[in-house]
Amino acid sequence: MTDRFSSIDWDDLRVFLAVHRAGTLRGAARALGVNHATVTRRLALLEDGLDTRLFDRRPDGLVASQAGEDLLGAAERVEVELTAVQRRVGGRDHSLHGLVRISVPPAMLRSFLARELVAFAQAHPGIELEVDAAHSYSDLARREADVAIRMADEVTEDVVGLRVIRYRKAVYAAPGYLATAGGGRTFDPAVHSWIGWGEDLPYPSWTRDTPFPELPVRHRLFSNILQLEAAREGLGLTLLPCFLGEAEPGVVRVPGTATLDGKSIWLLHHRDLGRTARVRTLIDHLAPAIRRHRRLIEGAPPSDTIAANTKY
């Protein structure tokens, strides 16, 4: 296997690693941004070249065979080395041209970040943006993104992190839903409920610090955007970042409730890319751009809600 390994194409190894991580051919295709046929063909070429089967097919997906396990460590080492070289070489790039991949939370993109990215693209026509709005974290070490905006209490990876601002969150609902609770004064646990993430139903820990810990969580929607849309349709109460809830028509903050502590908004990049001009320029644009929305991010007072909605 050693002699054959020396002639393996890196693109084939990328496919092998993607299949191993996804567990399916279609999942690997989505991760690589190619079609299913390409993944199938590349994997077949790799197996033919090595004259061995790399995956066993099981009811729950593809699992590495013994030969696949033997290849896995070497493939991961190649990935680490090539990614490190790409970062070091890319870090010497002083041109304001080329691609920057950025990972952003969908809620921020919907609220105010899209216009800031458009403003950046218009100001720097030589830089192309590839935007991934996903709830999962991108792995900066593996170059899944060059820059990441993350909402988190702390960041533990080996990356350069700038804590930009801490957001606030509040309880929101549709006006019609509040009307069924005396305008938001008399919620009944038998009738009213939370829309939430679903941990420890029906009384998860995150509801304890809210004004309504006695209300159960009856619906699990694993996205702030989905929760917002469900609340807009009158499904229940939802706890949203203020930058999302205050700027959206169709939901209002429950009267008489205060904002709650949220997480920090971070700007992250791998340390090897800190000297790349296009990456540095994007970060230098985004940090003040995010801070310009401080009032919205920290939760505009109720008396300012109309003005804030009009502005944003």
Span 253-309, pLDDT tens digits: 999 999 999 999 999 998 777 778 899 999 999 999 999 999 999 997 544 443 333
User: Using one digit for the tens of pLDDT, what is the confidence trace for 32-49?
Assistant: 888 888 999 989 989 888
Q: What are phi and psi of 50, to 5 degrees?
A: -90, -10
Asked whether the predicted pLDDT for residue 90 surpasses 60, the reply is no
Mean pLDDT of 58-81: 86
Residue 251: pLDDT over 60: yes
pLDDT of residue 308: 37
Report pLDDT digits (tens) over 151-207.
999 887 778 889 999 999 999 999 999 999 999 999 999 999 999 886 666 778 889
Amino acid identity at 5: F
The stretch 79-93 carries a mean pLDDT of 65
DSSP states of 247-281: T-TT-EEPTTPPPEEEEEEEEEE-GGGTT-HHHHH
Quote the mean pLDDT of the chain: 86
Residue 276 has what pLDDT? 86
Give the mean pLDDT of 12-37.
Answer: 89
How far are the Cα atoms of 25, 51, 59, 154, 249 from residue 15, in angstroms, in the given order? 9, 17, 21, 32, 44
Q: What is the pLDDT of residues 161-177, one digit of tens each?
A: 899 999 999 999 999 99
* pLDDT surpasses 60 at 7: no
Distance CA 277, CA 100 (A): 10
- Determine the length of the chain: 312
- Kindly state the average pLDDT of the residues 217-242: 94
**Residues 6 or more apart in contact with residue 201 via CB below 8 angstroms:** 216, 217, 220
Find, among 147, 96, 164, the residue nearest to 272 by Cα: 147
Q: Answer yes or no: pTM beyond 0.75.
A: no
pLDDT reported for residue 87? 58
51/36 Cα distance (integer angstroms): 22
pLDDT > 90? residue 85? no
d(CA 52, CA 277): 45
The whole-number average pLDDT for the span 87-113 is 82
CA–CA dist 287, 78 (Å, integer): 34
The predicted pLDDT at position 86 comes to 65
CA-derived radius of gyration, the chain: 24
